Amino acid sequence: HGLLFGTFCIFTSIHIILFENKIVFLFFSSIPWEIYFRLIYIITYFAGIFFVLFIKSLYPRDMSDILINLFTKVNLLFIISVIILPVYYFTYTLPLFGLLFILMLFYIMYIYIRALYKNRTSSLIGSFGFLFLGMTLINDLLHINLIINTTYLMQFGLVIFIFTHSYILSTRYSRAYVHVFNIFHKMKKNNRALISLKNNLEEIVRERTNELQNAKTRIETVGKMTSEIVHDLKNPISAIIGFSELANEDDIGKSNRSEYLEIIQKEANRLSNMSQEILDFVKGGSSLQKEVINLKLFLLEFYHTFGMEFKKYKINFELNIDEDIDVLIDTEKIRRVLINLSKNSIEAFENYKKENKLIKLKVYKSKKAILIKYSDNGPGIPKEIQEHLFVPFVTFNKENGTGLGMSLAKEIIESHKGRLYFDANVKEGAEFIIELPNIEGELN
């Protein structure tokens, strides 16, 4: 836009200057009149070409390329004729140019009307400037061809046209600048995001790699230990089948049948526990179903549902909690943790002769966490075993066990954004600390 508009302004300005004969002859009195005459014609035709091309640049979708090319080529032929033909002959091109230019002005007026109808940007201001310029150009052409006796007015029309279309161009440039400015800021923002992503990409890739590696390790571990699990499951199944056959015989006494049924029940419970541990391990990545519950009521409910096992093995249970504490947990999974810890204590007590067997739960609350201290007064855990407590499939020579109970308990607590650890400093028995986030911190 700007280049064509500027070129048009230059040619029209030179045209006006050349028409002021006194000024030209004052500085260039030695110029032959023939050259001077040819310059006027050439500049007039060039001004017409760049004028039409400028309007085309304003409304490229509305103006016909064929008409513009035809007008340009005809004017170039006029310019060539001015250069090579004598003055007498090339002066006949001016009326033809005038007729052609007037037709083009009417066509351009149609374009401006069409732009107004389509509500093109600044089309009203442009139409006013063009109308004023067109009227002055027609006046000058008619005056040059001695059709009317007025004076040259094109310079006034040019001023109005330049002023209105300078405003149009400045508006377009300002909008383009604002658009570029907005794009620049968007690109700057995107670049900052890309830089941030680049800085975090390595960490993200590392995290995803670790997740994939953990999943792969879990799958490999399950596959590697499948045969061992099947072997461990066969033991209680074989016992159940064997003792059920013995209990079904007619010649055994009532006491023997009761003993066999008790063994079957015990082995069935072990089989159920082992199956549950394997299921929990396979579902280790399942989502939590958290709810806000009263911790004291939850622990009392746990004792009421699991207390029969404690009474069966003559184990006392003690709960110490000073206040009502609300906690956000998956109750089924936390109950599973307490059951796993309790079963380990019961199995430890089976081969440990002690009169006052005790399992104790003590709850503390701090600003950041809730601590549940689980302890028993059993034989404790040997030092060589303590460092492998939470390793999957490690059973420590325990009969009919999967070795998954403690690893599952640790995984459940960590999925609650907490910690489960063993306190090795106790003098008697075993002690585990369950650390859960305080509900205020969890909700925030």
For residues 187-210, average pLDDT: 79
User: Looking at residue 436, what is its pLDDT?
Assistant: 92
Q: Do residue 54 and residue 173 come from a single domain?
A: yes
Res 30 pLDDT > 80: no
Q: Do residue 31 and residue 154 come from a single domain?
A: yes
Residue 116 sits at φ, ψ, to 5 deg, of -65, -40
Token pair listed for 212: 């994939």
The CATH code of the domain that includes 425 is 3.30.565.10
User: Looking at residue 444, what is its pLDDT?
Assistant: 42
**pLDDT level of residue 288 (50, 70, 90 thresholds):** confident
Q: Do residue 11 and residue 155 come from a single domain?
A: yes
Q: Which of 182, 202, 236 is the last residue of a domain?
A: 182
Identify whether 122 is part of a domain. Answer: yes
Identify whether 271 is part of a domain. Answer: no
Least confidently predicted of 109-123, 293-307, 418-432? 109-123
Token pair listed for 35: 């050259």
User: Looking at residue 26, what is its pLDDT?
Assistant: 57
Identify whether 189 is part of a domain. Answer: no
**302 in Cβ contact with 338 (< 8 Å):** yes
Return the percentage of the chain with pLDDT > 90, whole number: 7
For residues 60-86, average pLDDT: 84
Token pair listed for 113: 């009307």
Nearest to 48 by CA among 14, 23, 11, 1: 11
Higher pLDDT, 203 or 161: 203
Length of the chain: 444
What is the number of structural domains in the chain? 2
Does residue 86 sit in helix, strand or coil?
Answer: coil
Residue 356 sits at φ, ψ, to 5 deg, of -100, 80
Identify whether 137 is part of a domain. Answer: yes
Q: Which of 134, 152, 182 is the last residue of a domain?
A: 182
**Strand 419-422 relative to strand 315-321: parallel, antiparallel, unpaired?**
unpaired
Least confidently predicted of 189-193, 221-225, 311-315? 221-225
Residue 152 sits at φ, ψ, to 5 deg, of -75, 125
Please tell me the distance from the alpha carbon of residue 369 to that of residue 325, in angstroms, as a whole number. 11
Please tell me the distance from the alpha carbon of residue 233 to that of residue 270, in angstroms, as a whole number. 9
**Chain centroid, CA 371 distance in Å:** 38
Q: Do residue 167 and residue 299 come from a single domain?
A: no
Identify whether 242 is part of a domain. Answer: no
**415 in Cβ contact with 408 (< 8 Å):** no
Higher pLDDT, 158 or 222: 158
Higher pLDDT, 170 or 341: 341
Which residues neighbour 242 within 8 Å (Cβ) at sequence distance 6 or greater? none
Integer distance in angstroms from the first to the last C-alpha of the chain? 59
Res 70 pLDDT > 80: yes
**pLDDT level of residue 443 (50, 70, 90 thresholds):** very low
Digit-coded pLDDT (tens) for 367-409: 788 999 999 988 888 887 777 777 766 655 455 555 667 888 8
User: Looking at residue 222, what is its pLDDT?
Assistant: 61
Nearest to 330 by CA among 280, 270, 276: 280
**47 in Cβ contact with 7 (< 8 Å):** no
User: Could you tell me the residue range of the domain that residue 431 belongs to?
Assistant: 288-444
Res 88 pLDDT > 60: yes
Res 150 pLDDT > 90: no
User: Looking at residue 15, what is its pLDDT?
Assistant: 58
Identify whether 156 is part of a domain. Answer: yes
H/E stretch holding 106 reads helix 93-117
**pLDDT level of residue 356 (50, 70, 90 thresholds):** confident
Q: Do residue 124 and residue 7 come from a single domain?
A: yes
Please tell me the distance from the alpha carbon of residue 137 to that of residue 103, in angstroms, as a whole number. 12
Residue 423 sits at φ, ψ, to 5 deg, of -95, 110
**DSSP secondary structure string, 323-374?**
S--EEEE-HHHHHHHHHHHHHHHHHHHHT---SSEEEEEEEEE-SSEEEEEE
Identify whether 192 is part of a domain. Answer: no
Identify whether 367 is part of a domain. Answer: yes
User: Looking at residue 361, what is its pLDDT?
Assistant: 93
Please tell me the distance from the alpha carbon of residue 237 to that of residue 233, in angstroms, as a whole number. 6
User: Looking at residue 99, what is its pLDDT?
Assistant: 82
Token pair listed for 188: 């700057």
Return the percentage of the chain with pLDDT > 70, whole number: 77
Cβ density class 97-122: b for 16+ within 10 Å, e for less: bbebbeebbebbeebbeebeeeebeb
- Kindly report the average pLDDT of the chain as a whole number: 77
**DSSP secondary structure string, 202-215?**
HHHHHHHHHHHHHH
Q: Which of 165, 182, 199 is the last residue of a domain?
A: 182
Res 275 pLDDT > 80: no
Please tell me the distance from the alpha carbon of residue 334 to that of residue 344, in angstroms, as a whole number. 16
